[in-house]
């Protein structure tokens, strides 16, 4: 009798671990992805009055797809703590990888089943010269940056705002101690330098299941695609899925 109770409790503990370390991140990741798709959809409806080329019109004549803007990208000038202001799309992390990006790195953002990815308020916002630094959990609460160590040089990282898509190219990973605040500098690891470029930095825990170190993934701004012209071809599927979502 007691043996059966103990075995049952043991099985429940193992099930809990399976849930916490694996299943829950998938479920929470989906919730965060759904919220990001809602944001995308509401932004695209704001722009529906603008002349957006219909998907059916993209025949051979426009096979090149939407073109990036040659002007300087628009700047986001302010963001409210705990509120989303962008979405993050990383094709390398999966065809469904779209997540909301919110202001702040407190538990209200990082430990949220709806938000998950936070922006360091002391760092720059999309379009501003300097470094836009994001943080998320490696595991738990969606584990959004679980696989950033699998990025390849040149992989595209997209940040979407109501204005359009900022395309960054992944450059390299860096491993630092938990107090390695150099990754937050406007020019990463160059204290006091004046930024001439726009960077994106994704930070999370390293190694997996540990908080001994931090891992940073750096990207460099490459191009801006205005919302009126439609998304870059690489993420057109993600965009269509978001606009078709409920």
Partner 1 sequence: MYAALWRLLPGPWWVRVIILVVAAAAVLAACVFWIFPWVNVYIEPTEIPTVDQ
- Residue 145 near partner 1 by CB under 8 A: yes
The separation between CA 212 and the C-alpha centre of its own chain, rounded to angstroms, equals 23
**Please, which residue, 31 or 52, has the CB nearer to partner 1?**
31
CA dihedral angle for residue 48, residue 74, residue 156, residue 243, rounded to 10 degrees: -20
- The C-alpha angle with vertex 200 and arms to 142 and 75, in degrees rounded to 5, equals 110
Stretch that binds partner 1, among 29-37, 155-163, 174-182, 231-239 (CB under 8 A): 174-182
Q: How far is the CB of 137 from partner 1 (least distance, A)?
A: 5
Q: Per-residue x/- mask for partner 1, residues 185 to 204, rule CB under 8 A?
A: ------------------xx
**Please, which residue, 142 or 229, has the CB nearer to partner 1?**
142
Q: How far is the CB of 88 from partner 1 (least distance, A)?
A: 15
Q: How far is the CB of 166 from partner 1 (least distance, A)?
A: 22
E strand or H helix that includes residue 110: helix 107-110
- Residue 175 near partner 1 by CB under 8 A: no
Residue 107 · residue 56 · CB < 8 Å? no
Kindly state the tokens that stand for 110: 């990082």
- Residue 167 near partner 1 by CB under 8 A: no
**Please, which residue, 81 or 222, has the CB nearer to partner 1?**
81
The residue from 176, 187, 223, 236 that contacts partner 1 (CB under 8 A) is 176
Q: Using N-to-C axis directions, what is the helix angle for 24-46 and 236-243, rounded to 10°? A: 80
Site for partner 1 in 207-226 (CB under 8 A): 211, 214
Kindly state the tokens that stand for 35: 């919220």
Q: How far is the CB of 36 from partner 1 (least distance, A)?
A: 19
Nearest to 125 by CA among 116, 134, 115, 117: 134
Assign 200 to helix, strand or coil: strand
Kindly state the tokens that stand for 165: 């898509």
Cα–Cα distance measured from residue 163 to residue 30, given in angstroms and rounded to the nearest whole number: 25
- Residue 180 near partner 1 by CB under 8 A: yes
Stretch that binds partner 1, among 56-64, 129-137, 190-198, 221-229 (CB under 8 A): 129-137
| Burial call 165-184: b when 16+ CB within 10 Å, e when fewer | bbbbbbbeebebeeeeeebb
- Residue 43 near partner 1 by CB under 8 A: no
Binding site for partner 1 (CB under 8 A): 1, 4-5, 12, 15-16, 19-20, 23-24, 105, 107, 110, 118, 120, 135-140, 145, 176, 178-181, 183-184, 203-205, 211, 214
């Amino acid at each position: 009798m007691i043996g059966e109770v103990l075995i049952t409790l043991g099985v429940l503990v193992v099930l809990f671990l399976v849930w916490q370390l694996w299943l829950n991140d998938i479920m929470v990741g989906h919730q965060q992805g759904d919220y990001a798709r809602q944001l995308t959809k509401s932004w695209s409806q704001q722009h529906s009055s603008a002349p957006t080329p219909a998907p059916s019109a993209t025949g051979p004549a426009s096979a090149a797809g939407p073109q990036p803007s040659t002007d300087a990208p628009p700047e986001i000038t302010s963001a409210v703590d705990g509120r989303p202001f962008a979405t993050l799309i990383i094709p390398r992390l999966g065809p469904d990888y779209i997540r909301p990006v919110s202001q702040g790195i407190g538990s209200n953002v990082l430990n949220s089943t709806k938000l998950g990815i936070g922006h360091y308020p002391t760092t720059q916002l999309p379009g501003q010269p300097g470094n836009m630094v994001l943080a998320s959990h490696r595991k738990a609460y969606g584990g959004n940056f679980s696989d950033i160590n699998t990025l390849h040089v040149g992989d595209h990282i997209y940040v979407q705002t109501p204005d359009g898509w900022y395309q960054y190219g992944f450059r390299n990973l860096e491993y630092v101690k938990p107090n390695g605040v150099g990754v937050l500098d406007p020019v990463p690891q160059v204290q006091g330098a004046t930024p001439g470029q726009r960077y994106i930095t994704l930070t999370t825990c390293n190694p997996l299941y540990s908080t001994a170190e931090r891992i940073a993934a750096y990207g460099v701004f490459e191009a801006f695609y205005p919302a009126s012209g439609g998304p870059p071809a690489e993420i057109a599927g993600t965009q269509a899925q978001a606009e078709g979502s409920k």
